[in-house]
Amino acid sequence: MLNMTRSRPWIVYRDLSHALGDIIHLHVLGQHIVVLGSAQAIYEYLEKRSANTSDRVQSPMIELSGSSLNIAFMPYGQWWRRHRRSFWQYFHREATEGYKNTQQSAAHIFLQELWERPSDLREVIRLNFTAVIMKIGYDIPIQSKDDPYLKIVRDALEGPLEGLVPGRFLVDFLPFLRRIPPWFPFAASQRLWVKWQAAGERLKNTPFEEAKAKLARGETTHSIVANSLERLSNTGISSPEEEEIVKNVGAIVFEAGTDTVLSTMLSVFTGMSLHPEVLTKAHAELDAVIGPHRLPDFSDKDSLVYVNAIIKEAMRWHTVLPMGVPHATIADDEFRGYFIPAGTMVIPNTWACMHDPEVYEDPDVFRPERFIRDGKLNPTVQDPTAFSFGFGRRICPGRHFAEAVVFINVACALHVFNITPPLGEDGLPIEVKQGHTDSFLSYPEDVRCTIKPRSATAEALIRSHATAARQALNG
């Protein structure tokens, strides 16, 4: 069973669900595991009964991957509530309205960066999101692709990405393995864990200390960290514990959003490259709604029905979290006649839900039209965003922020760029592999594509907006 589920386990579990039903029970080395294989089962158990399903199994890999401060993996309780409350005050729907100017400026810079180095799509997207987070979180500008903070973020995200697929590391089931020293022969995993934990600490501490030093020097600074520290000071409740929460919340934003945004945007570009008919329809809508002489902004969102459908289809087609973040039961429970012991790991197979042919016809096909009826988004079609950001009381509190970042970047990019298959040395299109990576957060496997401005007018739009955007974001 361990070997069977260590590579793309969401497919294995999907096949088991087809044979055995949408509730599967496994018992692996003392750990009870329940896999929910349908949207209905997930909704009934993780949403409607979240009072008992909102805990997390405290796998050793949460700490060893450098993810122990991430609110998504904290045990359900007061410490988690304090972090969520602190995070939520800056990221509820109304609060995120205040970040839209920063997000839009970053999107304009993204266009210029992508025009100048289109072959670095992955890194350009990462630069864009990191710049937004560093600005609102710490008031620290990201100046270039060589900024040291980009490496700090990249290194810190490696651990969660590679280390949190359930069952990939045997230490999940044999905890004594964590005590093997990293210098021991054949201790390659242990050496990885040391590296990942150090990277997580750098992400938590380095930007926080810079933001704190700005305050100490009396510099005028507006950021989540600065505002939080000033509030603690003004209310007289500052303490090492409260400061630790502020520090953690700053770092949580990266781990909660960076790779979700990255995976979704890579899926959009891959979909456009493989399906030119979709891009043609997107261009037609953008030309009709926006016109050639400006870029999209957030006020256009409701009018860009097809662009919104593309984003939903990208999230469905390449599921960002194929097995979500596993929940755990707090007390003994019963569900559909099955006894579920306290401490059971409950895995929502979100990939299977997003590729259910009874819900989405031809699920392997990229088809945004499935979300549209009579020229509007169809509310009767299962919305992929409901599966991308978690369930019940553990739903991602940063979802509104992440959705806004994806929308403004996708809308602006589709408005000014043609996106076509990559070309070989002979000038002929190269076949792109339609697969996804085997990791906790999953990406399209082959994201090569050709990205060029649609016209001279599009080039002028990119140029004219980038300079002002850099001044706004880095000033």
Q: Poorest-confidence range of 13-17, 58-62, 245-249?
A: 58-62
Nearest to 12 by CA among 172, 437, 3: 3
Strand segments (E) across 353-436: 372-373, 376-377, 417-420
Which pLDDT does position 49 carry in this prediction? 96
Distances in Å between the Cα of 316 and the Cα atoms of 276, 350, 399, 457, 470 are 19, 9, 16, 33, 33
Q: What is the per-residue pLDDT across 26-41, written as a single tens digit (0 to 9) for each?
A: 988 788 999 999 999 9
Does residue 2 form part of some domain? no
Which pLDDT does position 255 carry in this prediction? 61
Does residue 1 form part of some domain? no
Mean pLDDT of 5-13: 79
Mean pLDDT of 460-470: 92
Which pLDDT does position 3 carry in this prediction? 46
Q: Poorest-confidence range of 296-300, 307-311, 321-325, 331-335?
A: 321-325
Please give the DSSP secondary-structure letter assigned to residue 46.
I
Residues 6+ apart with CB under 8 A from 441: 160, 161, 259, 260, 263, 320, 321
Does residue 371 form part of some domain? yes
Contact yes or no for 249/87 (Cβ under 8 A): yes
Does residue 4 form part of some domain? no
Nearest to 72 by CA among 55, 60, 86, 85: 55
The CATH number for 225's domain is: 1.10.630.10
Distance CA 469, CA 295 (A): 13
Distance CA 16, CA 275 (A): 32
Which pLDDT does position 396 carry in this prediction? 87
For residue 319, pLDDT over 60 is answered with yes
Rounded percentage of the chain residues whose pLDDT exceeds 90? 57
Amino acid at 140: I
396 among annotated binding-site residues:
yes
Q: What is the per-residue pLDDT across 279-308, written as a single tens digit (0 to 9) for each?
A: 999 999 999 999 999 999 999 999 999 999
Report the sign of the C-alpha dihedral through residues 267, 270, 274, 277, in that order. positive
Give the count of alpha carbons within 13 A of 458, CB side only: 18
Backbone region of residue 55 per phi and psi (left: phi > 0; alpha: psi in -120 to 50; beta: other values) = beta
How many domains, in total, are found in the chain? 1
Nearest to 226 by CA among 236, 216, 235: 216
What residues make up the domain containing 81? 9-474
Distance CA 418, CA 283 (A): 9
**pTM for this entry:** 0.92
Q: Interior CA angle at 348 toward 27 and 95, to 5°?
A: 140
Distances in Å between the Cα of 119 and the Cα atoms of 89, 105, 423, 452 are 38, 22, 11, 11
- Average pLDDT taken over every residue of the chain: 89
Does residue 3 form part of some domain? no
For residue 116, pLDDT over 70 is answered with yes
